[in-house]
Amino acid sequence: MLVIGWGLLAIALFHLVPMFLCNLSWRAILPRASRPGAGVLLWIRWIRESINTLLPVGQVGGDLVCARLVHLHGVPAVPAIASMVVDLTVSVLTQVVFVALGLALLLTRSLAPDVLAVVWAVAAGMAVLLGLMGTFLIVQRAGMFALMTRIGGALLRSEAARRLGAKAAEIDHAIRALYRNKRAFWTAMAWRLADWIAGAGEVWLVMYFLGKPVSVAEALIL
């Protein structure tokens, strides 16, 4: 921070660019009839990132708060929750594509053994992540929330948990409907990939203000 000085302010402000693109991704899968304005959604996204980054909530607490806030701003509860689940899926899938882009750029620069070792290690991690995401998608299509409420009701023998079953089925139906809306889903994917790529701008700025400027491709690799 002492080296970068006021450049830190420029880096922090630039983060609004990928945040805005990420926001457009999420906005694409919210229902048009009750979709809040871009400014409101950006504020909610800011809170979401802050909670997930700063608090010990396992990177999911912010998502729950986000669903609650967007519901308070007019989005019905069921599509609000469904949008969070699909947005999480979009985030991970596009991140895999972004990492693959970084690896491809790295390979174009060098095929040295130490570089190949890094590529293979990251590729193995991506394969595991894709396997987990495949399982997550299967569970979503099978009715994730209805399954959880059935298990919860059976284990806890709670009548309240059983009553949640109908609402859980609505959420599962809303999630499947979002995946069937190809235009909204692929629009969200495109905006989210643009978000990951724009985030490399922060790396570029950091290196610039550190006095070690890099190219755009190097920033993407980093």
Give tens-digit pLDDT for 55-76: 886 667 888 888 899 999 999 9
d(CA 90, CA 197): 15
pLDDT of residue 137: 85
Phi and psi at 116, nearest 5°, equal -60, -35
Q: Which residues of the chain have pLDDT under 50?
A: none
Predicted pLDDT of residue 110: 87
Tens of pLDDT, residues 118-159: 999 999 999 998 899 888 888 888 777 777 776 655 555 555
Nearest to 66 by CA among 83, 86, 91: 83
Q: What amino acid is encoded at 120 in this protein?
A: W
d(CA 100, CA 105): 9
Report CA Rg, the chain: 20
Res 197: pLDDT? 95
Cα gap 93→87, rounded to integer Å? 10
How many Å apart are CA 108 and CA 115, to the nearest integer?
Answer: 11
